[in-house]
Amino acid sequence: MSCKVEKMKIAANYKVNEPIHNLKIRVRVAQQRSPLAELLAEESKGGETRDSNFLEEEDHIFNWQEKVFGPFEIDFYADEKNCLSDCQKEYHRRINDEQLKGARLYSYTENDSYYIDNNLLTTPYRSYLSKKNQTALPAMQNRKPFRERYNKRVLDNKSIKARIRSSHYFYTERISMHVMADLSHRDEPATGGSADSETLLCSVIYDKARKQLTINPDFTIDDERHYSVINGHGVKFNYWIEHVSAGPTLTELQEKCEATRREVQQELDYKEAELYKELQLPPANLSTLFLNLDIVSAHGFSYDGLFITYFIDLPQHWTTKQKERLFGRTQRCLLENKSAHFSYCTDISLHYPSNDFQQLTDDTHIGKTLTPRLLFSVASLDSWTRYRIEGYAALPIPMIPGTYKFTVPTWRAKGNIIDALRRFFVGGSYELEDITYCSIPMAHEGTILDKSNLRIISSGDIEINMNIVIQNGIHMKHFDYEIDNSDRIRTDTLMNNVENVLEQFKAAKERMIRIRTINS
């Protein structure tokens, strides 16, 4: 019985959570009855209305990568001379041992050399970009071979996700399977490559990296929808593709749960290792200063499009493993009532020898010069791309743990009237060649720093929030020791007090007994 609705051939992608070897597809092909033949069959009250010279009806359930031989393959692989590879020799053995016969519905697996588009084997592939480049640029003569122009060495460390090339291409491991139908005349000899003997019904491709299954065309939901194909003789066939995979077994469910548990455990171990690297104690000879910086806002500046660039100037003996965080820049922000709100946060850890850390907390000139400094540069870039330096500022990082809030005033270099006009109309202003000059220059030597020749003008203010945490291995040990000693001292005092009370109670009881004896 022919169906009424013909379905459009559209591919579909499915996410596969079960083992792919459980996949089963049922393909059913039926020769379509012509309306004239059905009319004649009704008038003759029965009778066959299909052409028996061609395939009338057949169905088969294909497992994943199941090899089903077609008529041409049976004749081809039966001759041992045609079998060259190991796979072809295995096909020859199966055909002779199992006495296989060709089926009208057969399959090509990953081991077979079948290509959907035969033009790919004869016509060189040209991408869309290469065609556009040919029309846009003149043809280049005497070009190097493809492998010499590009580095196409494949990096493979036995991981699917790592199978990438050094260029911008990304290669994934895909496994394909094709279901074919032989719609040729029964009396015609089986010939490979002909349109009737090799009619593609559907292709199934599995992407192992993404666990994605692609089937082209999609499954047919019910018998009312089907696909159609016409052979070279004008005979039309309808076929259905159904998903008949069985559910996972108990063993497979247990294996899946175990695999999921291992993945989660590996992820937790990885996170724990990363967290341990961040929270582990510093070496005994180093102290660590954790700085959390929040550039909140800027106030009192004249031009729009403000952004702030910060630098962390490390004196001698200070080190860090996060060198890329010693420099940063906020986003551009428009002014609202002469205020720009950034809320730009960053954090960085700085290291310093523990033996010299104590002198940094002292309020001396040496301690002040050895502490790191935050250097700020405020600039503006408006809609006309006029760039202006709005101000500089320097802020020493506190060496005492705690939470701090700073309002940092800024200044900028002052020029003459021409510089002021240039700054207003086209942008541009004096800039410091060395940003450390807004505090203590790196090249400065001596005890006196003279900046009297620098003409400056005050600018706006920057609101800064800062959190400081200091971690020191030696101090931690001393601190633990002091806590243990204090606890031990408190415990000893308490025990002594209890013993004294018991002795006094015992003495008072003895006195009361003696008084009762005397009175009696």
For 102-118, the pLDDT digits (tens) are 888 999 998 888 877 65
* Structural contact between residues 80 and 91, judged by C-beta atoms closer than 8 angstroms: no
Confidence of residue 198 (pLDDT cuts 50, 70, 90): confident
Contacts of 436 (CB under 8 A, 6+ apart): 311, 313, 375, 442
Q: State the average pLDDT over residues 499-513.
A: 78
* Structural contact between residues 320 and 314, judged by C-beta atoms closer than 8 angstroms: yes
Confidence at residue 139, expressed as pLDDT on a 0 to 100 scale: 46
Tokens encoding 349: 């850890």
Say if residue 269 is in the same domain as residue 407: no
Burial of residue 14 (number of CB atoms within 10 Å: 0-12, 13-18, 19+): middle
Segment 372-427, tens digit of pLDDT: 889 999 999 888 888 888 999 999 998 889 999 999 999 888 878 888 888 888 88
What is the spatial distance between Cα 18 and Cα 248, in angstroms, rounded to a whole number?
A: 7
What is the spatial distance between Cα 226 and Cα 243, in angstroms, rounded to a whole number?
A: 14
Say if residue 243 is in the same domain as residue 370: no
Q: How many Cβ atoms sit within 10 Å of the Cβ of residue 67?
A: 19
Say if residue 30 is in the same domain as residue 179: yes
Count of the separate structural domains present in the chain: 3
Q: What is the DSSP letter of 331?
A: -
Confidence of residue 492 (pLDDT cuts 50, 70, 90): low
The CB-side HSE value for 57 (13 A sphere, CA atoms) comes to 9
* Residue 210 domain boundaries: 5-68+103-131+170-247
Confidence at residue 450, expressed as pLDDT on a 0 to 100 scale: 67
Report the CATH number that the domain containing residue 343 is assigned in CATH: 2.60.40.150
Confidence of residue 500 (pLDDT cuts 50, 70, 90): confident
Residue that finishes a domain, picked among 198, 226, 247: 247
pLDDT at 345 over 50: yes
Confidence at residue 428, expressed as pLDDT on a 0 to 100 scale: 80
Amino acid symbol at 165: R
Amino acid symbol at 285: N
Say if residue 452 is in the same domain as residue 309: yes
> Does 362 fall in a domain?
yes
Question: Tokens 């299909």 belong to which residue?
Answer: 50
Residue that finishes a domain, picked among 472, 487, 511: 472
pLDDT at 35 over 80: no
Question: Tokens 């700073």 belong to which residue?
Answer: 406
Q: Give the rounded percent of residues in the chain with a pLDDT score beyond 90.
A: 16
Contacts of 334 (CB under 8 A, 6+ apart): 304, 305, 340
Say if residue 304 is in the same domain as residue 446: yes
Say if residue 197 is in the same domain as residue 275: no
Least confident residue range of 121-130, 144-153, 255-264, 291-300: 144-153
> Does 211 fall in a domain?
yes
Q: Name the pairing type of β-strands 387-396 and 373-381.
A: antiparallel
Confidence at residue 515, expressed as pLDDT on a 0 to 100 scale: 78
Tokens encoding 65: 């990568």
Confidence of residue 124 (pLDDT cuts 50, 70, 90): low
Segment 310-336, tens digit of pLDDT: 999 888 888 887 777 888 899 898 888
Who wins on pLDDT, 166 or 329?
A: 329
* Structural contact between residues 27 and 219, judged by C-beta atoms closer than 8 angstroms: no
Say if residue 235 is in the same domain as residue 320: no
The CB-side HSE value for 252 (13 A sphere, CA atoms) comes to 10
* φ, ψ at 236 (rounded to 5°): -100, 140
Sign of CA dihedral 208, 210, 212, 214: negative
Tokens encoding 433: 């060649």
Q: How many Cβ atoms sit within 10 Å of the Cβ of residue 307?
A: 19
Confidence at residue 42, expressed as pLDDT on a 0 to 100 scale: 56
Contacts of 206 (CB under 8 A, 6+ apart): 16, 20, 64, 174, 175, 176, 212, 213, 214
Say if residue 381 is in the same domain as residue 309: yes
Confidence of residue 461 (pLDDT cuts 50, 70, 90): very high
Say if residue 302 is in the same domain as residue 418: yes
Q: Which helix (H) or strand (E) holds 273?
A: helix 250-279
Confidence at residue 481, expressed as pLDDT on a 0 to 100 scale: 37
Query: Cα angle vertex 364, ends 358, 369, to 5°?
Result: 85
pLDDT at 478 over 50: no
What is the spatial distance between Cα 457 and Cα 416, in angstroms, rounded to a whole number?
A: 12
Burial of residue 427 (number of CB atoms within 10 Å: 0-12, 13-18, 19+): middle
Average pLDDT over the chain, rounded to whole?
77
> Does 112 fall in a domain?
yes
Least confident residue range of 4-8, 52-56, 124-128, 262-266: 124-128
Confidence of residue 211 (pLDDT cuts 50, 70, 90): confident
CA distances 288 to 152, 233, 306, 318, Å, are 45, 84, 33, 10
Q: How many Cβ atoms sit within 10 Å of the Cβ of residue 259?
A: 10
Say if residue 189 is in the same domain as residue 262: no
Confidence at residue 516, expressed as pLDDT on a 0 to 100 scale: 75
Comparing C-alpha atoms, which of 499, 22, 426, 497 is closest to residue 252?
Answer: 22
> Does 177 fall in a domain?
yes
Per DSSP, the three-state class of 378 is: strand
Segment 226-248, tens digit of pLDDT: 888 888 788 888 899 999 888 77
Q: Give the rounded percent of residues in the chain with a pLDDT score beyond 70.
A: 72
Tokens encoding 264: 């989660």
What is the spatial distance between Cα 457 and Cα 252, in angstroms, rounded to a whole number?
A: 76
Say if residue 126 is in the same domain as residue 237: yes
What is the spatial distance between Cα 76 and Cα 191, in angstroms, rounded to a whole number?
A: 9
* φ, ψ at 36 (rounded to 5°): -65, -40
181-195, 278-292, 407-421, 446-460, range with greatest mean pLDDT:
407-421
What is the spatial distance between Cα 110 and Cα 26, in angstroms, rounded to a whole number?
A: 19
> Does 219 fall in a domain?
yes
Say if residue 107 is in the same domain as residue 206: yes
